[in-house]
Amino acid sequence: MSALPILQCAVAAAGAWWVATEIIGHPTPFFAPIAAVVSLGLSLGARLRRSVELVAGVTIGIGVGDLLIAVIGTGTWQIALVVGLAMSAAVLLNSGPIFSMQAASSAVLVATLLPPGDSAGVDRMVDALTGGLVGIAVVALIPTHPVGRARKQAANILGTAAEVMRLVADGLVSNDDKPLEEALRKARATQDSIDSLRTQILGGREISRISPLYWNTRGRLDRLAAAADPLDNALRNIRVLARRSLTLVRDDEILNPRLVDQVDKLAHALETLKQMAVADPGQQPDQAEAARVLRSVASGLKPELVHNAGLSATVVFAQVRSVTVDLLQVAGLKRISAIATLPPTVENPAYPPEPWPSDHA
């Protein structure tokens, strides 16, 4: 864990306690710092909604606990009953796991450590609400950079893609399946990184909405969000490209060396995209420079590269074209404009071949 999340939790816990004791006047606002810390511990992109669930869960748990424990007392079966009823109420409200767990834990606290009283239940609900609101306020006032993590994650993905393409080129040049096996292994391991990128983008958008310090980052987040799907598609097509290249080598199929050169050029273009992802506004390479490099790759993907070629070589060619189209979209082009950069094919002068099915690549 980095220093900033630790600082956020410390400030939120202290702030929630201070607000609950000094402003609201509760002598022991147990739930205020707990709610603040738990709300900050929630995943990026979910804090606002999950904080509401947190407060609602505490409210349900305290309400059920106060009502029942005041009548039936405390004990083993009483704990089982209040937890079951509190979680059942949460489930009936179609809530998430945080709602249910907070309802259960709050009911347990009321049934064991915090006996109910006339105003105790209401006070605890107010404390939970206070903690959740203070946690959100801390995110707004001491935020993580909403774009930084997403940019770094995108750069890591593009760096891995570049490495995969270099391994593919090496395997094709040397007619060796070992680099291709490694390329396929690396390519198949990228989906978690793509999912993490989407989470970082959601978290960044949340911060840009609630923190005035970063309202000006919304445009950059929109561009990152627009690139997420094409980047995901590019990685899926790269997996197919690696798998078909492995088949090509194992079948001793002949491949035009100029097509291998295009694979290598695409690896270099991915490095440019990686540098673009971490470049600050106004720095190079920007989207225009990355698109220029990719257009250079696209212009060389002519159908003559697979004239009289076998099935695997044709699929490799089609996948390189498809990946190029995906990456041009990552660089900011619309799909129709990205397709237009490719030389026409004999089968369809206007469009490149459709990507090979990649669900099980």
pLDDT tens readout for residues 67-78 = 777 778 777 888
**Runs of H (alpha helix) within the chain:** 3-18, 31-40, 47-72, 76-92, 97-112, 120-141, 148-174, 177-188, 191-210, 218-250, 257-278, 287-299, 311-330, 335-340
How confident is the model over 81-86, as a mean pLDDT? 84
- What amino acid is encoded at 15 in this protein? G
Mean pLDDT on 154-167: 96
Task: Report how far residue 157's alpha carbon sits from residue 53's, in angstroms, rounded to the nearest whole number.
Answer: 33
Q: Is the pLDDT of residue 361 over 60?
A: no
Q: 35 versus 284: which is more confidently predicted?
A: 284
Q: What is the mean pLDDT of the chain?
A: 83
Q: In this predicted structure, what is the pLDDT of residue 102?
A: 72
56-67 pLDDT tens trace: 777 777 777 777
Whether 44 shows a pLDDT value over 60: the answer reads no
Pick 86 or 22 by higher pLDDT. Answer: 22
pLDDT at 4: 74
In the predicted structure, residue 292 carries a pLDDT above the cut 70: yes
Write down the pLDDT at residue 347: 54
Question: Residue 342 corresponds to which tokens in the numbers above?
Answer: 């490719």
Query: Which residue reads 């090979």 in tokens?
Result: 356
Ordered by where they begin, the domains of the chain are: 3-141 (no CATH), 148-340 (1.20.58)
Residues 290 and 8: their CA atoms lie apart, in Å, by 37
Report d(CA 247, CA 186) in Å as an integer. 17
**% of the chain residues with pLDDT over 90:** 43
What is the C-alpha to C-alpha distance for residues 120 and 18, in angstroms, rounded to an integer?
A: 19
**Do 127 and 29 contact (CB within 8 A), yes or no?**
yes
What are the tens digits of pLDDT across the range 316-360? Answer: 999 999 999 999 999 999 999 999 999 987 555 444 444 444 444
The predicted model gives 136-157 an average pLDDT of 82
Per-residue pLDDT of 258-269, as tens digits, reads 999 999 999 999
**Residues 30-52, mean pLDDT to the nearest whole number:** 70
